[in-house]
Structure 1
Protein backbone atom coordinates (compact mmCIF):
# COMPACT_ATOMS: atom_id res chain seq x y z
CA UNK A 1 0.00 0.00 0.00
CA UNK A 2 1.44 3.39 -1.01
CA UNK A 3 1.99 6.21 1.45
CA UNK A 4 -1.07 8.18 0.31
CA UNK A 5 -3.23 5.04 0.38
CA UNK A 6 -2.09 4.15 3.90
CA UNK A 7 -2.77 7.73 5.02
CA UNK A 8 -6.24 7.55 3.48
CA UNK A 9 -6.92 4.24 5.24
CA UNK A 10 -5.73 5.70 8.56
CA UNK A 11 -7.95 8.76 8.09
CA UNK A 12 -10.93 6.57 7.17
CA UNK A 13 -10.37 4.47 10.30
CA UNK A 14 -10.05 7.59 12.47
CA UNK A 15 -13.35 9.02 11.21
CA UNK A 16 -15.08 5.67 11.76
CA UNK A 17 -13.83 5.35 15.33
CA UNK A 18 -14.92 8.89 16.19
CA UNK A 19 -18.33 8.28 14.58
CA UNK A 20 -18.66 4.94 16.41
CA UNK A 21 -18.15 6.72 19.73
CA UNK A 22 -20.50 9.58 18.81
CA UNK A 23 -23.40 7.35 17.74
CA UNK A 24 -23.14 5.43 21.02
CA UNK A 25 -23.14 8.69 22.99
CA UNK A 26 -25.68 10.70 20.99
CA UNK A 27 -27.58 8.33 18.69
CA UNK A 28 -27.38 7.82 14.96
CA UNK A 29 -29.24 11.01 13.98
CA UNK A 30 -26.98 13.42 15.87
CA UNK A 31 -23.41 13.22 14.46
CA UNK A 32 -22.71 16.15 12.17
CA UNK A 33 -20.35 15.43 9.24
CA UNK A 34 -18.49 18.74 9.59
CA UNK A 35 -17.92 18.16 13.33
CA UNK A 36 -16.75 14.57 12.79
CA UNK A 37 -14.30 15.55 10.07
CA UNK A 38 -12.97 18.45 12.16
CA UNK A 39 -12.42 16.16 15.16
CA UNK A 40 -10.59 13.72 12.87
CA UNK A 41 -8.35 16.56 11.66
CA UNK A 42 -9.79 16.49 8.15
CA UNK A 43 -11.68 18.95 5.97
CA UNK A 44 -15.42 18.71 5.47
CA UNK A 45 -14.85 18.53 1.72
CA UNK A 46 -12.79 15.35 2.09
CA UNK A 47 -15.73 13.37 3.47
CA UNK A 48 -16.82 11.95 0.11
CA UNK A 49 -13.35 10.54 -0.56
CA UNK A 50 -14.10 8.14 2.30
CA UNK A 51 -17.87 7.57 2.32
CA UNK A 52 -20.61 7.47 -0.30
CA UNK A 53 -23.06 9.28 1.99
CA UNK A 54 -23.83 10.07 5.63
CA UNK A 55 -25.90 6.86 5.77
CA UNK A 56 -22.87 4.91 4.53
CA UNK A 57 -20.77 6.39 7.35
CA UNK A 58 -23.42 5.57 9.97
CA UNK A 59 -23.75 1.95 8.86
CA UNK A 60 -19.96 1.48 8.86
CA UNK A 61 -19.61 3.23 12.23
CA UNK A 62 -22.36 1.06 13.70
CA UNK A 63 -20.53 -2.07 12.53
CA UNK A 64 -17.32 -0.82 14.18
CA UNK A 65 -19.13 0.10 17.41
CA UNK A 66 -20.81 -3.30 17.58
CA UNK A 67 -17.66 -5.28 16.78
CA UNK A 68 -15.59 -3.46 19.41
CA UNK A 69 -17.78 -5.05 22.06
CA UNK A 70 -16.66 -8.63 21.51
CA UNK A 71 -13.06 -8.10 22.58
CA UNK A 72 -14.18 -6.08 25.60
CA UNK A 73 -16.65 -8.76 26.67
CA UNK A 74 -14.04 -11.52 26.43
CA UNK A 75 -11.50 -9.43 28.32
CA UNK A 76 -14.08 -8.68 31.03
CA UNK A 77 -14.92 -12.37 31.39
CA UNK A 78 -11.33 -13.48 31.91
CA UNK A 79 -10.59 -10.89 34.58
CA UNK A 80 -12.11 -13.47 36.91
CA UNK A 81 -10.39 -16.71 35.89
CA UNK A 82 -12.27 -18.82 38.45
CA UNK A 83 -15.70 -17.45 37.48
CA UNK A 84 -15.48 -15.87 34.01
CA UNK A 85 -19.27 -15.68 33.64
CA UNK A 86 -19.53 -13.71 36.89
CA UNK A 87 -16.60 -11.55 35.78
CA UNK A 88 -18.39 -10.63 32.57
CA UNK A 89 -21.71 -9.94 34.30
CA UNK A 90 -20.12 -7.80 37.03
CA UNK A 91 -18.08 -5.80 34.52
CA UNK A 92 -20.98 -5.30 32.11
CA UNK A 93 -23.34 -4.24 34.91
CA UNK A 94 -20.75 -2.01 36.57
CA UNK A 95 -21.08 1.74 37.06
CA UNK A 96 -18.07 2.34 34.81
CA UNK A 97 -19.89 0.77 31.84
CA UNK A 98 -23.12 2.60 32.64
CA UNK A 99 -21.33 5.94 32.83
CA UNK A 100 -19.36 5.57 29.57
CA UNK A 101 -21.83 5.04 26.72
CA UNK A 102 -19.32 6.29 24.14
CA UNK A 103 -17.09 3.28 24.73
CA UNK A 104 -19.75 0.89 26.01
CA UNK A 105 -21.71 -1.95 24.45
CA UNK A 106 -23.39 -0.80 21.25
CA UNK A 107 -26.20 -3.34 21.64
CA UNK A 108 -27.59 -0.95 24.26
CA UNK A 109 -27.17 2.34 22.44
CA UNK A 110 -27.98 1.14 18.91
CA UNK A 111 -30.86 -1.27 19.57
CA UNK A 112 -33.62 1.20 18.77
CA UNK A 113 -31.86 2.43 15.63
CA UNK A 114 -31.18 -1.12 14.42
CA UNK A 115 -34.87 -1.94 14.68
CA UNK A 116 -35.64 0.83 12.16
CA UNK A 117 -32.49 0.51 10.03
CA UNK A 118 -31.68 -1.00 6.65
CA UNK A 119 -30.51 -4.57 6.10
CA UNK A 120 -26.77 -3.82 6.51
CA UNK A 121 -27.27 -2.19 9.89
CA UNK A 122 -29.60 -4.97 11.04
CA UNK A 123 -27.11 -7.57 9.83
CA UNK A 124 -24.29 -6.02 11.89
CA UNK A 125 -26.54 -5.93 14.97
CA UNK A 126 -27.70 -9.52 14.39
CA UNK A 127 -24.10 -10.69 14.03
CA UNK A 128 -23.14 -9.11 17.34
CA UNK A 129 -26.11 -10.54 19.23
CA UNK A 130 -25.16 -14.01 17.98
CA UNK A 131 -21.49 -13.48 18.92
CA UNK A 132 -22.44 -12.47 22.46
CA UNK A 133 -24.82 -15.41 22.83
CA UNK A 134 -22.06 -17.77 21.76
CA UNK A 135 -19.60 -16.19 24.18
CA UNK A 136 -22.06 -16.33 27.08
CA UNK A 137 -23.13 -19.92 26.37
CA UNK A 138 -19.44 -20.86 26.31
CA UNK A 139 -19.07 -19.56 29.87
CA UNK A 140 -21.84 -21.77 31.23
CA UNK A 141 -21.09 -24.98 33.15
CA UNK A 142 -22.42 -27.10 30.25
CA UNK A 143 -21.79 -24.90 27.18
CA UNK A 144 -23.23 -27.26 24.56
CA UNK A 145 -26.57 -27.80 26.27
CA UNK A 146 -29.87 -26.17 25.31
CA UNK A 147 -29.97 -24.79 28.84
CA UNK A 148 -26.69 -22.92 28.23
CA UNK A 149 -28.11 -21.25 25.11
CA UNK A 150 -31.31 -20.39 26.95
CA UNK A 151 -29.32 -18.99 29.87
CA UNK A 152 -27.13 -16.96 27.50
CA UNK A 153 -30.26 -15.45 25.94
CA UNK A 154 -31.66 -14.54 29.36
CA UNK A 155 -28.32 -13.14 30.55
CA UNK A 156 -27.70 -10.98 27.48
CA UNK A 157 -31.27 -9.65 27.44
CA UNK A 158 -31.17 -8.82 31.15
CA UNK A 159 -27.76 -7.12 30.95
CA UNK A 160 -28.64 -4.98 27.93
CA UNK A 161 -31.99 -4.02 29.46
CA UNK A 162 -30.48 -3.19 32.84
CA UNK A 163 -27.82 -0.89 31.35
CA UNK A 164 -30.38 0.80 29.11
CA UNK A 165 -32.70 1.54 32.05
CA UNK A 166 -29.86 2.44 34.45
CA UNK A 167 -28.73 5.12 31.99
CA UNK A 168 -32.27 6.37 31.36
CA UNK A 169 -33.68 6.79 34.88
CA UNK A 170 -33.36 10.07 36.75
CA UNK A 171 -32.79 8.67 40.26
CA UNK A 172 -29.13 7.63 40.90
CA UNK A 173 -30.18 5.19 43.62
CA UNK A 174 -32.63 3.43 41.31
CA UNK A 175 -29.95 3.33 38.62
CA UNK A 176 -27.52 1.61 41.01
CA UNK A 177 -30.25 -0.74 42.20
CA UNK A 178 -31.00 -1.87 38.65
CA UNK A 179 -27.35 -2.79 38.12
CA UNK A 180 -26.73 -4.53 41.43
CA UNK A 181 -30.02 -6.44 41.53
CA UNK A 182 -29.77 -7.78 37.99
CA UNK A 183 -26.11 -8.71 38.49
CA UNK A 184 -26.94 -10.59 41.71
CA UNK A 185 -29.84 -12.45 40.12
CA UNK A 186 -27.86 -13.44 37.03
CA UNK A 187 -24.94 -14.63 39.14
CA UNK A 188 -27.30 -16.94 41.05
CA UNK A 189 -28.79 -18.33 37.85
CA UNK A 190 -26.57 -21.02 36.28
CA UNK A 191 -27.15 -23.73 33.71
CA UNK A 192 -27.74 -27.17 35.18
CA UNK A 193 -26.25 -30.48 34.03
CA UNK A 194 -28.36 -32.18 31.31
CA UNK A 195 -29.29 -35.00 33.76
CA UNK A 196 -30.78 -32.49 36.20
CA UNK A 197 -32.79 -30.80 33.43
CA UNK A 198 -34.69 -34.00 32.66
CA UNK A 199 -35.52 -34.91 36.26
Structure 2
Protein backbone atom coordinates (compact mmCIF):
# COMPACT_ATOMS: atom_id res chain seq x y z
CA UNK A 1 0.00 0.00 0.00
CA UNK A 2 2.85 2.38 0.83
CA UNK A 3 4.48 1.61 -2.52
CA UNK A 4 1.31 2.67 -4.39
CA UNK A 5 1.18 5.93 -2.41
CA UNK A 6 4.86 6.62 -3.19
CA UNK A 7 4.26 5.88 -6.91
CA UNK A 8 1.20 8.17 -6.94
CA UNK A 9 3.19 10.96 -5.29
CA UNK A 10 6.03 10.47 -7.78
CA UNK A 11 3.55 10.56 -10.66
CA UNK A 12 1.90 13.74 -9.35
CA UNK A 13 5.32 15.37 -8.84
CA UNK A 14 6.24 14.44 -12.42
CA UNK A 15 3.03 15.95 -13.81
CA UNK A 16 3.61 19.13 -11.80
CA UNK A 17 7.21 19.34 -13.09
CA UNK A 18 6.08 18.85 -16.70
CA UNK A 19 3.38 21.52 -16.34
CA UNK A 20 5.84 23.92 -14.69
CA UNK A 21 8.33 23.45 -17.54
CA UNK A 22 5.63 23.83 -20.19
CA UNK A 23 4.51 27.06 -18.51
CA UNK A 24 8.13 28.27 -18.57
CA UNK A 25 8.33 27.37 -22.26
CA UNK A 26 5.13 29.33 -22.95
CA UNK A 27 6.47 32.31 -20.99
CA UNK A 28 9.71 32.30 -23.00
CA UNK A 29 7.66 32.15 -26.23
CA UNK A 30 5.45 35.08 -25.14
CA UNK A 31 8.48 37.19 -24.14
CA UNK A 32 10.20 36.37 -27.45
CA UNK A 33 7.09 37.29 -29.46
CA UNK A 34 6.67 40.54 -27.49
CA UNK A 35 10.30 41.53 -28.16
CA UNK A 36 9.94 40.66 -31.86
CA UNK A 37 6.70 42.63 -32.24
CA UNK A 38 8.15 45.56 -30.28
CA UNK A 39 11.16 45.65 -32.60
CA UNK A 40 8.85 45.38 -35.62
CA UNK A 41 6.83 48.33 -34.28
CA UNK A 42 9.96 50.49 -34.16
CA UNK A 43 11.09 49.27 -37.58
CA UNK A 44 7.66 49.97 -39.11
CA UNK A 45 7.68 53.50 -37.70
CA UNK A 46 10.66 54.44 -39.90
CA UNK A 47 9.50 55.15 -43.45
CA UNK A 48 12.70 56.62 -44.81
CA UNK A 49 15.28 55.49 -47.28
CA UNK A 50 17.18 52.40 -46.16
CA UNK A 51 20.76 51.24 -46.40
CA UNK A 52 20.21 49.14 -49.52
CA UNK A 53 22.28 49.91 -52.55
CA UNK A 54 20.28 51.30 -55.43
CA UNK A 55 21.69 52.66 -58.63
CA UNK A 56 18.79 54.90 -59.60
CA UNK A 57 16.90 57.25 -57.28
CA UNK A 58 14.08 59.51 -58.40
CA UNK A 59 11.80 61.79 -56.43
CA UNK A 60 8.08 62.28 -56.58
CA UNK A 61 5.03 63.46 -54.65
CA UNK A 62 2.45 61.03 -53.30
CA UNK A 63 -1.23 61.30 -52.46
CA UNK A 64 -3.22 58.65 -50.58
CA UNK A 65 -6.22 57.41 -52.56
CA UNK A 66 -7.76 54.77 -50.31
CA UNK A 67 -6.57 53.28 -47.04
CA UNK A 68 -7.27 50.26 -44.87
CA UNK A 69 -6.63 50.29 -41.13
CA UNK A 70 -4.91 47.23 -39.61
CA UNK A 71 -4.12 46.38 -36.00
CA UNK A 72 -3.91 46.36 -33.00
CA UNK A 73 -1.39 43.54 -33.54
CA UNK A 74 -0.23 42.95 -37.10
CA UNK A 75 2.83 42.20 -39.21
CA UNK A 76 3.82 45.84 -38.58
CA UNK A 77 3.95 45.32 -34.82
CA UNK A 78 1.77 46.76 -32.08
CA UNK A 79 -0.72 49.55 -32.76
CA UNK A 80 -2.99 50.60 -35.59
CA UNK A 81 -1.46 51.16 -39.02
CA UNK A 82 -2.65 52.28 -42.43
CA UNK A 83 -2.10 50.38 -45.68
CA UNK A 84 -2.90 52.71 -48.56
CA UNK A 85 -3.22 52.76 -52.32
CA UNK A 86 -1.17 55.75 -53.40
CA UNK A 87 -0.79 57.84 -56.54
CA UNK A 88 2.79 59.07 -57.04
CA UNK A 89 3.62 61.83 -59.51
CA UNK A 90 7.30 61.38 -60.34
CA UNK A 91 9.55 64.31 -61.31
CA UNK A 92 10.10 62.72 -64.75
CA UNK A 93 6.34 62.90 -65.48
CA UNK A 94 5.38 59.31 -64.76
CA UNK A 95 2.30 58.63 -62.66
CA UNK A 96 2.54 55.51 -60.50
CA UNK A 97 -0.08 53.60 -58.55
CA UNK A 98 1.56 51.81 -55.60
CA UNK A 99 0.53 50.30 -52.28
CA UNK A 100 2.18 51.50 -49.07
CA UNK A 101 2.32 49.83 -45.69
CA UNK A 102 2.79 50.67 -42.03
CA UNK A 103 1.26 54.14 -42.21
CA UNK A 104 3.82 55.45 -44.71
CA UNK A 105 0.88 57.56 -45.83
CA UNK A 106 -2.38 58.15 -44.00
CA UNK A 107 -5.84 58.93 -45.34
CA UNK A 108 -6.09 62.38 -46.87
CA UNK A 109 -2.34 63.05 -47.11
CA UNK A 110 -1.26 64.84 -50.29
CA UNK A 111 2.03 66.10 -51.72
CA UNK A 112 4.11 63.77 -49.56
CA UNK A 113 7.72 63.46 -50.80
CA UNK A 114 8.54 59.93 -52.00
CA UNK A 115 11.75 58.36 -53.28
CA UNK A 116 11.84 55.65 -55.93
CA UNK A 117 14.97 53.50 -55.55
CA UNK A 118 15.67 51.05 -58.38
CA UNK A 119 18.55 48.76 -59.29
CA UNK A 120 20.20 49.38 -62.66
CA UNK A 121 20.26 45.70 -63.63
CA UNK A 122 16.65 45.16 -62.43
CA UNK A 123 14.73 48.36 -63.24
CA UNK A 124 11.39 46.72 -62.48
CA UNK A 125 12.56 46.01 -58.92
CA UNK A 126 11.94 49.35 -57.22
CA UNK A 127 11.29 50.34 -53.62
CA UNK A 128 9.25 53.38 -52.62
CA UNK A 129 10.01 55.21 -49.38
CA UNK A 130 10.06 58.66 -47.92
CA UNK A 131 13.34 60.58 -47.86
CA UNK A 132 15.29 59.33 -44.89
CA UNK A 133 18.34 59.50 -42.69
CA UNK A 134 21.09 56.89 -43.10
CA UNK A 135 21.98 56.94 -39.38
CA UNK A 136 18.41 56.10 -38.44
CA UNK A 137 18.28 53.48 -41.21
CA UNK A 138 21.43 51.90 -39.76
CA UNK A 139 19.91 51.74 -36.26
CA UNK A 140 16.70 50.22 -37.68
CA UNK A 141 18.75 47.62 -39.58
CA UNK A 142 20.72 46.82 -36.42
CA UNK A 143 17.47 46.45 -34.48
CA UNK A 144 16.19 44.08 -37.18
CA UNK A 145 19.28 41.86 -36.75
CA UNK A 146 19.01 41.91 -32.94
CA UNK A 147 15.32 40.99 -33.16
CA UNK A 148 16.09 38.09 -35.53
CA UNK A 149 18.77 36.75 -33.18
CA UNK A 150 16.39 37.12 -30.23
CA UNK A 151 13.69 35.18 -32.07
CA UNK A 152 16.11 32.37 -32.98
CA UNK A 153 17.43 32.02 -29.42
CA UNK A 154 13.98 32.51 -27.85
CA UNK A 155 12.41 29.86 -30.09
CA UNK A 156 15.30 27.47 -29.37
CA UNK A 157 14.98 28.08 -25.61
CA UNK A 158 11.18 27.66 -25.63
CA UNK A 159 11.43 24.52 -27.75
CA UNK A 160 14.25 23.11 -25.62
CA UNK A 161 12.39 23.65 -22.36
CA UNK A 162 9.22 22.10 -23.84
CA UNK A 163 11.18 19.13 -25.13
CA UNK A 164 12.90 18.81 -21.76
CA UNK A 165 9.50 18.77 -20.08
CA UNK A 166 7.93 16.24 -22.41
CA UNK A 167 10.85 13.83 -22.76
CA UNK A 168 11.64 13.42 -19.14
CA UNK A 169 13.74 16.24 -17.86
CA UNK A 170 15.73 15.85 -14.71
CA UNK A 171 15.33 12.62 -12.80
CA UNK A 172 16.26 11.95 -9.22
CA UNK A 173 18.65 9.07 -8.76
CA UNK A 174 17.50 6.39 -6.43
CA UNK A 175 19.78 5.23 -3.61
CA UNK A 176 20.02 1.80 -5.28
CA UNK A 177 22.03 3.17 -8.21
Name the one with the larger strand percent: 2
Question: Shorter-normalised TM-score: what interval?
Answer: under 0.3
Using CA pairs below 8 Å that are at least 6 residues apart, which structure has the higher relative contact order? 2
Name the one with the larger helix percent: 1
